Chain A
Amino acid sequence: MRGVGVRWAALLGTAFVLQVAFLGDLRIFGVHPDLMLLVAVAAGLIGGPSRGATVGFVVGLLVDLLLPGRLGTSALAYSLVGFGIGVAGESLMRSARWILVGLVMAGSAAGVVLYAGLAHLLGAGSLGDPRLLQIVVIVAVFNGLVCLPVLYLAQWAEDAGPATSYR
């Protein structure tokens, strides 16, 4: 169990550094990819609802430290998404690659909308942002494109044994 925590911490730290150092500046039509949200979604998909909620919370809290809005907004949004994707993943009968990619894209889109909704409730007006749809689509598509290696790493973090399913 302790090893699981260390591996998840290493994965979160790496994702955070990559997000801040490179992806924060990578603007696709003015929108940057959200690797941190992808990690929360992957945690839910691989580790189940509990892991999705806890990893989502920690990831969201790290993101909140960089944002000027209310601390805890991303933490709430990402933990709910991590949990929801975990429940959805558990109810799947089979896990074909395209289904996982679809779930990651849906979870990413839901994460952006949920964050915008919570921020809107707290006075940031994010739901009225004319670029909302653009942000949702770009984040979801990017996360869908790069999700397989992240899912593999999430499986490595979750399971002490050799991860073979994503090779």
Chain B
Amino acid sequence: MNPAGPLPSKGTPRRRGRYVLLVVVLLGITLVTVDARGGSLFAPARDGAAEATGPIQRAGRWLSSPFRSTWHGIRDYPRVRQENERLREELARVRGDKIRNRNAQEQLTRLREQLDIGFTGRLRTEMSRVTLGPYSNFRSFSVTIDKGADRRLKVGMPVVTSAGLVGRISRVGPTTSQVELATSPDFVVGVRLASSQELGVGHGGGEINRFVVDKGISLDVTVNKGEAVLSSGLDSAVLPPDVPIGLVDRVTPNDAERSQQLLVRYAVDFSQLDVVQVVRWIPPR
């Protein structure tokens, strides 16, 4: 290679460069401003991009799957082996607990009858796949799924897996939708503690990867680590009742506000999202 590289010609007028920069910066600021004002002007372009890139990404994944499998096999071998050993131990313990579980199952069935835990039982759902994960290197708290207005999905519909809450639909395109994940700090939802039935309000914890319940749980309520946290489903709630959000991981009393802050470990593993269910439920206005 010739080290004398092809740097730009010195004859390029600086003034023209500054003029071009000024134009693109003004254009960029205009785009940001228009988008920030909440207009849906760019929604068709974004929907079109999501529709176009979905097949490209799927094709790329299909083409690169042998290489990715080999790479993951090499990289993850020690971890998989450890996990295998851990799972064997767990399986042995589970087998030992089988008889006790039968009894627990009976009790659970009765409790469900009393509490009327529905989750998605009476609501219709639409199965969907995550097509475009978080593209940004920075946390974007959203994913794209492969169903949209063609399956009559609407903004606000909750998205769940069998484990619990994933998020809710924030934008619907013709054949794809964007889902705001429950990890987003802007995702605010009313919650209910399973054992005490205490009501509170929580939001996504962003980077800390925990759901934060910071309103409504008074100091005199006993909250144990591992307690289930569900959506409250009260009037004007953004989620139907009893959607599992996660299990309490840490309890911190706040004497100044006479309340407790709960850090909740999500029931859903957001790094492994693939198949999800969109619940055909629209928040009441």
Q: Which residues of A contact B (CB under 8 A)?
A: 17, 20-22, 24-25, 31-32, 34, 45-51, 53-54, 56-57, 60-62, 64-73, 75-76, 79-80, 83, 86-87, 89-90, 92, 94-97, 100, 112, 116, 119, 122, 124-126, 128-132, 135, 139, 148, 151, 155, 158-159, 163-167
> Nearest chain A CB to B53's CB is how many angstroms away?
5
Beyond A53-B24, A72-B32, A80-B25, is A89–B7 a contact (Cβ under 8 Å)? yes
Interface centre among A67, A92, A97 (most CB of B within 10 A): A67
- Verify B20–A50 contact, CB threshold 8 A: yes
The 10 A-B residue pairs with the shortest CB-CB distance, nearest first, are: A21-B60, A72-B31, A95-B5, A48-B8, A49-B17, A76-B28, A65-B49, A72-B32, A57-B24, A68-B142
Q: Mark B23-48, 1 if CB is under 8 A from A, else 0.
A: 01101111110111000001001101
User: B50 — nearest CB in chain A belongs to which residue?
Assistant: A66
Q: Provide the residues of chain A in CB contact with B139, threshold 8 Å.
A: 129
Q: Mark B173-208, 1 if CB is under 8 A from A, else 0.
A: 000001000000100000000000000000000110
Question: Complex formed: what's the CA distance from A22 to B215 in Å?
Answer: 43
> Nearest chain A CB to B159's CB is how many angstroms away?
15
- Verify A21–B8 contact, CB threshold 8 A: no
Number of cross-chain contacts by CB at 8 Å: 181
Beyond A75-B31, A100-B5, is A50–B138 a contact (Cβ under 8 Å)? no
The listed residue (A20, A122, A135, A158) touching B56 by CB distance below 8 A is A20
Question: Complex formed: what's the CA distance from A31 to B134 in Å?
Answer: 11
- Verify A22–B21 contact, CB threshold 8 A: no
The answer to whether the Cβ of B115 comes within 8 Å of any Cβ in the partner chain is no
The listed residue (B20, B34, B60) touching A25 by CB distance below 8 A is B60
Question: Complex formed: what's the CA distance from A148 to B7 in Å?
Answer: 13
